[in-house]
Structure formats: C-alpha cells, structure tokens
C-alpha cells in the first residue's frame, strides 16, 4: 500500500485484483508501463506477461515477486518482463525502475 501511495503522487495508476481483470483491462486500454505482481490469483504474472508479448505489445513490464530464488529473475525475463524486483520492495528501486522504463 505504501508503494501505491508513493506512486499515486506522480503517476496515474490502475490497480486490479487478479490476473483475469488485468488481461481484460489491457484488452480495452493502453498502459505506458505495467507493474506486475507475479503471484496474482486466477492468472499468474508469468502467463499475463506471455499473453501481452504474444500480441507484440512492447509496453514495459516490471515484475514484482516474492520469489527471490535462483533462476527467478531469468524466469520472469524469459516470460517477457523487462525488469525484476524482489520483495520486500525498496520504494526507491521501484521509482527508479519506473522512471527508467518510461523513458525507453
């Protein structure tokens, strides 16, 4: 929630409750950047990233995951994410990643 409050000061955010809602929103709208929790219910972040990339959508995706095990970074990047941030979240790291990918 703190991350959301910090980002809302500088960006327009759209938050969804699960992967199904995320894909539905993305079918009807365009995002400049996606902060994607890889552990979303119904459809996980890996599948969402794959589906986004299958449509040739180049929107930057920053994966946020509680998994910090060996190979997880490579796994999310292979799914189509541009960056990987492990929990616990460092707000400054997220802000820096958001700023970087919005400029690309």
Residue ranges covered by each domain of the chain: 2-103
Short-list 78, 18, 17, CA closest to 53: 78
Cα of 27 vs its chain's centroid, Å? 16
Is the model's pTM score more than 0.85? yes
Mean predicted confidence (pLDDT) in 48-74: 90
pLDDT at residue 1, rounded to an integer: 60
Predicted confidence (pLDDT) at residue 14 exceeds the cutoff of 80: yes
68: pLDDT confidence band, cut at 50, 70 and 90? confident
Predicted confidence (pLDDT) at residue 8 exceeds the cutoff of 90: no
**Contact yes or no for 56/69 (Cβ under 8 A):** no
Q: Which CATH number fits domain 2-103: 3.40.50.300, 3.30.70.2170, 3.30.420.40, 3.40.50.2300?
A: 3.40.50.2300
Mean predicted confidence (pLDDT) in 58-87: 91
94-98 CB contacts, 8 Å cutoff, 24+ apart: 94/3, 94/7, 94/35, 94/62, 94/64, 95/6, 95/7, 97/62, 98/7, 98/11, 98/33, 98/35, 98/62
Mean predicted confidence (pLDDT) in 33-57: 95
Predicted confidence (pLDDT) at residue 86 exceeds the cutoff of 70: yes
């Amino acid at each position: 929630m703190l991350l959301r409050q910090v980002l809302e000061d500088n960006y327009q955010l759209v938050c969804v409750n699960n992967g199904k809602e995320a894909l539905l929103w993305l079918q009807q709208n365009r995002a400049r950047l996606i902060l994607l929790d890889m552990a979303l219910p119904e459809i996980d972040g890996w599948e969402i990233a794959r589906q986004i990339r299958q449509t040739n959508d180049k929107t930057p995706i920053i994966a946020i995951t509680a998994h910090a095990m060996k190979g997880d970074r490579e796994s999310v990047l292979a799914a189509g994410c541009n960056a990987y941030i492990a929990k616990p979240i460092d707000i400054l790291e997220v802000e820096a990643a958001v700023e970087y990918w919005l400029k690309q």
